[in-house]
Amino acid sequence: MGGKAVFIAHCILNQNSKALGFASRPGLVEWLIDFLKQNGCVIEQLPCPEMLHLGVNRWWHTKDLYDTPGFRKHCRRLARRVVDLMEYYLRRGLAIVLIGVDGSPSCGVNLTGKNPYWGGEPKASAEQYQVVEGMGVWMEELLKEVERRGIKRFKVIGLAMDLPGFDLKESLKMLEAELGG
């Protein structure tokens, strides 16, 4: 499993970047970092476009609300720096893997969150956040930059660690299978 540079969503190492109400741990997601290190992976932390754009006290957002030219431009600027870093590791012969957080409006890989009615007066409940198939805005822009530079597509994994029913044992099994090759 060694020889891999695994790029992880920012909040996996820093739960203090989460939108308020969603930090499941004091500091970091220890089971995932421990797993990656025990398996010889180099870890790189993505910047958090949500926190850098709207700050740490931001309202909850859906993908609909982040899907704006301004936020996408902000993501593209960050993506250029991250893909520079990916190329740095590729030059050293490491394979790249990307891990996002399923359900997130920006970092979701397989699942993201929508609600076309959110906006205006800030009234919302978590139940109104509709988890739907699709990728978050940040992951979309990051992978566009990867494609634009002609980098061969690598493994992109989404972990639904913030969603109900998350199964740690199954996730570890899936990670072993995905990162083993």
Partner 1 sequence: MSLRDSRSYKVVFAPDYVINPENYPDIPKTLKIYEEIKNAGYGIVKLPAIDLPKDQISDWIEIAADMIEEYQKRGYAVALITIDCLEDGGIWLSKLRVELESRGLTIPKIVEFSRDELEKDEELSSKIKSIF
Whichever of 129 and 154 has its CB closer to partner 1, that residue is 129
Does 30 sit near partner 1 (CB under 8 A)?
Answer: yes
Could you count the other beta carbons within 10 Å of the beta carbon of residue 58? 13
Within the chain, how many helices (H) and strands (E) appear? Answer: 7, 6
Does 51 sit near partner 1 (CB under 8 A)?
Answer: yes
Smallest distance, partner 1 to C-beta of residue 160, A: 11
Whichever of 17 and 137 has its CB closer to partner 1, that residue is 17
- Burial class from Cβ neighbours inside 10 Å (0-12, 13-18, 19+) for residue 29 reads buried
Degrees (nearest 5) of the Cα angle 108, 111, 115? 100
As a whole number of Å, the end-to-end CA separation of the chain is 7
Does 121 sit near partner 1 (CB under 8 A)?
Answer: no
Whichever of 64 and 162 has its CB closer to partner 1, that residue is 162
Interaction site with partner 1 (CB under 8 A) = 10, 13-18, 20-28, 30, 33, 37, 40, 42-45, 47, 51-52, 55-57, 78, 81, 84-85, 88, 126-127, 129, 162-164
